Chains A and B, each alone.
Chain A
Amino acid sequence: MENLILCDVQQGVMTLTLNRPERLNSFNDAMHQQLAHCLTQAERDDSIRCLLITGAGRGFCAGQDLNDRHVDPTGDAPDLGYSVETFYNPLVRRLARLPKPVIAAVNGVAAGAGATLALGCDIVIAARSASFVMAFSKLGLIPDCGGTWLLPRVAGRARALGLALTGGKISAAQAAEWGMIWQLAEDANLQDTSIALARQFATQPTYGLGLIKQALLAAEHNTLDQQLDLERDYQRLAGRSADYREGVAAFLAKRQPQFQGK
């Protein structure tokens, strides 16, 4: 079987490299299946405390591989909802629910679902030469892989509509300036920067980080009252974690904490 996803686990970090460089790492069904398989491991294995997603070659991900859909202009209309339901939606949900940080290291062009996938990760670090292309509208499609939910939240409504309707392309620098991503890195530094951050996360109180992530995601639809209740509940859970006790003990003893992620 072709290795469409390179999966490497080291020092608490699972690095997933989208690996169809000759097709700018665009998704086909087999690649989705391999990615799903790796995610299952990331979900089950407590020793994995951070997920890092990047692309092989010069691109990050060009979204859905159009060749793979075999659209026959004269044939029956394809059911694009099928691949959204079967592959993209579960992927977005699983990354959002994963109770550990997910970093996207965007090494080159991220287009279509590749762009919305990257922007949906918890932390996005992009190489200066990278770009985000909302290519959907040019084919008559809508931004999927969480795009329509995500864009107004990361870019604001005006920019989201502008980007999505024009099918526009923005540079990594522009995305950073607009606050759509966490960090811009020089091309040569992208890998080192992202791996360093991932390894740093892998030594942190993972359980607490997972609760922070879930709380911020819940805030997208909660009222203030609901969110205050949720903060009470999550803080109650966080206060019972071994890492919280270790954090306090280390602070009082003026030493470096040794977090177990639990």
Chain B
Amino acid sequence: MSALITEQQGRVLTLTLHRPEARNALDNRLLTALADALDAAAGDPGIGAVIITGQPRFFAAGADLREMASRGLAETLNDPRPAIWQRIDSFPKPLIAAVNGYALGAGCELVLLCDLVIAGDNASFGLPEITLGLMPGAGGTQRLIRTVGKALAYRMVLSGDAISAQRALQAGLVAEVHPAGLTLEYARTLAARIAGHAPLALQAAKQALRYSQESGVTQGLKQERTLFTLLAATDDRREGIAAFLEKRPPTFTGR
């Protein structure tokens, strides 16, 4: 069986990490499969949003340590992984993580890379790399501090301690916490709602939100206005406003 299970419901694609024997450790193969699936989804007009999820007791418990152990300095310097992560990060549509159980190390970094996180009440998030004599290498130190702030980011990265779903909710890492048995279902409901909106508007809004992490506010506001203006030229904007005024549901075409 493949380590990545894909399943589409309506306009929502669910990608399920499935390496239970390795607690979903993200080895190069699985990470590549994920990037390939997202590349395909990016070009598929039938897909409006993507959910990444794992197993009931673990989302992904880290990178593959055996794979990492075999790489010295030279191999690490020319590691293909950063390029794979980059491919995942450049996915232009809404990307939602539905997390039950452990999201540790690379698993937590994958969660941080997603646009939105829905967690089960049994979820925990941590970057334990430090306990292995290394450090986060796929965005952990950069995205975490921008997400939860200095105090908690240093606390987690330097100690290696994980935090609960509730703590992650308070800190802003997680958007919603649900009973674990309902996590995926509620994530799908939200994803379906998102995927029903105009594709170009979603893409532009995501781009603006992403850009806010890259630039100062002045630059960000300019970029936001440019994207806003671009949407003025779309059919879907006309349709969205017309449907609202005529009190009917809109029919978007992605143009």
- Please name all residues of chain B whose beta carbon is closer than 8 Å to the beta carbon of A237 when the two chains form the complex: 179, 181-182
- Please name all residues of chain B whose beta carbon is closer than 8 Å to the beta carbon of A236 when the two chains form the complex: 182
- Please name all residues of chain A whose beta carbon is closer than 8 Å to the beta carbon of B178 when the two chains form the complex: 233
- Beta-carbon nearest neighbor of B186 in chain A: A233
Interface residues on B, range: under 10
* Bound-complex Cα distance A237 to B182 (A): 8
The digit string for B167-186, where 1 denotes a CB below 8 A from any CB of A, is 00000000000110110000
Chain A positions within 8 Å of B, measured between CB atoms, are 230, 233-234, 236-237
- Please name all residues of chain B whose beta carbon is closer than 8 Å to the beta carbon of A233 when the two chains form the complex: 178-179, 182
**Whole-angstrom distance between the Cβ of A241 and the nearest chain B Cβ:** 10
Residues of chain B in range 126-181 having any CB-CB distance to chain A below 8 Å: 178-179, 181
What is the number of contacts between chain A and chain B, taking CB atoms within 8 Å? 9
- Beta-carbon nearest neighbor of A237 in chain B: B181
* Bound-complex Cα distance A230 to B179 (A): 8
**Whole-angstrom distance between the Cβ of B95 and the nearest chain A Cβ:** 25
- Please name all residues of chain B whose beta carbon is closer than 8 Å to the beta carbon of A234 when the two chains form the complex: 179
**Whole-angstrom distance between the Cβ of B55 and the nearest chain A Cβ:** 17
**Whole-angstrom distance between the Cβ of B101 and the nearest chain A Cβ:** 15
* Bound-complex Cα distance A233 to B181 (A): 9
* Bound-complex Cα distance A234 to B182 (A): 9
- Please name all residues of chain A whose beta carbon is closer than 8 Å to the beta carbon of B182 when the two chains form the complex: 233, 236-237
* Bound-complex Cα distance A237 to B181 (A): 7
- Beta-carbon nearest neighbor of B180 in chain A: A237
**Whole-angstrom distance between the Cβ of A163 and the nearest chain B Cβ:** 31
- Please name all residues of chain B whose beta carbon is closer than 8 Å to the beta carbon of A230 when the two chains form the complex: 179
The digit string for B181-203, where 1 denotes a CB below 8 A from any CB of A, is 11000000000000000000000
**Whole-angstrom distance between the Cβ of A93 and the nearest chain B Cβ:** 12
* Bound-complex Cα distance A233 to B178 (A): 8
- Beta-carbon nearest neighbor of A230 in chain B: B179
**Whole-angstrom distance between the Cβ of A140 and the nearest chain B Cβ:** 32
- Please name all residues of chain A whose beta carbon is closer than 8 Å to the beta carbon of B179 when the two chains form the complex: 230, 233-234, 237
* Bound-complex Cα distance A38 to B61 (A): 28
* Bound-complex Cα distance A46 to B242 (A): 56
- Beta-carbon nearest neighbor of A211 in chain B: B179
**Whole-angstrom distance between the Cβ of A208 and the nearest chain B Cβ:** 13
Can you identify 9 A-B contacts, CB atoms within 8 angstroms? Answer: A230-B179, A233-B178, A233-B179, A233-B182, A234-B179, A236-B182, A237-B179, A237-B181, A237-B182
* Bound-complex Cα distance A233 to B182 (A): 8
**Whole-angstrom distance between the Cβ of B190 and the nearest chain A Cβ:** 14
**Whole-angstrom distance between the Cβ of B128 and the nearest chain A Cβ:** 20
* Bound-complex Cα distance A142 to B60 (A): 41
- Beta-carbon nearest neighbor of A214 in chain B: B179
Q: What 8 pairs between A and B have smallest CB-CB spacing?
A: A233-B179, A237-B181, A233-B182, A237-B179, A233-B178, A236-B182, A234-B179, A237-B182
* Bound-complex Cα distance A33 to B137 (A): 39
Given contacts A230-B179, A234-B179, 7 further A-B contacts (CB under 8 A): A233-B178, A233-B179, A233-B182, A236-B182, A237-B179, A237-B181, A237-B182
* Bound-complex Cα distance A33 to B60 (A): 31
* Bound-complex Cα distance A237 to B179 (A): 9
* Bound-complex Cα distance A230 to B178 (A): 8
- Beta-carbon nearest neighbor of B179 in chain A: A233
* Bound-complex Cα distance A236 to B182 (A): 9
- Please name all residues of chain A whose beta carbon is closer than 8 Å to the beta carbon of B181 when the two chains form the complex: 237
* Bound-complex Cα distance A158 to B154 (A): 42
* Bound-complex Cα distance A236 to B181 (A): 10
* Bound-complex Cα distance A234 to B181 (A): 9
**Whole-angstrom distance between the Cβ of B223 and the nearest chain A Cβ:** 37
* Bound-complex Cα distance A237 to B178 (A): 11
**Whole-angstrom distance between the Cβ of B30 and the nearest chain A Cβ:** 29
* Bound-complex Cα distance A234 to B179 (A): 8
**Whole-angstrom distance between the Cβ of B57 and the nearest chain A Cβ:** 13
- Beta-carbon nearest neighbor of B185 in chain A: A236
**Whole-angstrom distance between the Cβ of A185 and the nearest chain B Cβ:** 36
- Beta-carbon nearest neighbor of B178 in chain A: A233
**Whole-angstrom distance between the Cβ of A216 and the nearest chain B Cβ:** 15
* Bound-complex Cα distance A230 to B182 (A): 11
**Whole-angstrom distance between the Cβ of B183 and the nearest chain A Cβ:** 10
- Beta-carbon nearest neighbor of A234 in chain B: B179
* Bound-complex Cα distance A233 to B179 (A): 7
**Whole-angstrom distance between the Cβ of B232 and the nearest chain A Cβ:** 38
- Beta-carbon nearest neighbor of A240 in chain B: B181
- Beta-carbon nearest neighbor of B181 in chain A: A237
